[in-house]
Structure 1
Amino acid sequence: MRTAFFVDGYNVFYGLLADTPYKWLNLPQLLVYIAHVENPQSSLASIDYFTSPVKPQLATRGIASKEAQDTYVRALKANNVVVHYGRHQLEPSFAPRFIHKKIGASRQDSLAIWKLEEKETDVHIAISMYRTAVRQATVTASEKIQQLVLVSGDTDMAPALRAIREDFPQMVVGVVLPCRTGLKRSPPGSLIAYSHWMRRVVSTAELQSHQFPDRVPTQKAPAIKPDYW
Structure 2
Amino acid sequence: MLRTAIYIDGFNLYFGCLKDSPYRWLDLMKLCQNMLQAHNEIITIKYFTAYVSARGSNQGKPLRQQVYVRALKHTIPELEVIVGQFTTHSVNRKLDPPIGTQKFATVIETREKGSDVNLAVHLVNDAWRDHYDCAVVISSDSDLAEAIRLVRQSHPEKKVGIFVTGKQNSTKEMIRCASFVKKISTRALSLSQLPDQIPETNITKPEGW
TM-score (norm 1): 0.82
Alignment partners' CA distance in 1, 2:168 and 2:81: 28
1:44 maps to which residue? 42
Task: Give 1:131's match in structure 2, choosing from 119, 125, 128.
Answer: 125
Shift of 1:95: 2.9
Q: For 1:66, give the aligned amino acid.
A: P
Does structure 1 conserve the Cα–Cα contact (< 8 Å) formed by 2:35 and 2:188? no
Measured in 1, the distance between the counterparts of 2:12 and 2:170 equals 14
Cα 1:49/1:93, change in 2 over 3 Å: same
2:93 paired residue number: 95
* Bigger share in strand: 2
Partner of 1:65: 61
CA 1:98–1:168 in 2, change beyond 3 Å: closer, same or farther?
farther
Partner of 2:10: 9
Q: Percent identity?
A: 29
TM-score (norm 2): 0.89
Aligned CA distance change for structure 1 residues 227 and 112 (closer, same or farther; 3 Å): closer
| Aligned-pair CA distance for 1:185 | 5.2
Where does residue 223 of structure 1 map in the other structure?
203
Structure 1 pair 117/173, CA: closer, same or farther in 2 (3 Å)? same
Amino acid at match of 2:144: M
Aligned length: 202
What pairs with 1:1-229 in structure 2 (closer than 5 Å)? 1-36=2-37, 40-57=38-55, 61-62=58-59, 64-78=60-74, 79-80=76-77, 81-99=79-97, 110-136=104-130, 145-179=132-166, 186-200=169-183, 202-217=184-199, 221-229=201-209
Name 1:140's counterpart in structure 2: none
1:117 and 1:188 map into 2 onto residues whose CA distance is 21
1:92-138 deviations in Å (ceiling 9; x for gaps):
22333334xxxxxxxxx5433222211111111011111110111xx
CA shift for structure 1 position 26: 1.1
CA contact (8 A) 2:89 2:110 kept: yes
State the distance in 2 between where 1:7 and 1:115 align: 24
Q: Per-residue deviation at 1:9? A: 0.6
The SS at the match of 1:66 is: helix
Residue by residue over 1:131-157, the C-alpha shift from the partner in whole angstroms, topping out at 9 and shown as x without a partner, is: 110111xxxxxxx52001100000111
Q: Which residues of structure 1 form unaligned runs of 5+?
A: 100-108, 137-143
**Counterpart-to-counterpart distance in 1, 2:145 and 2:96:** 30
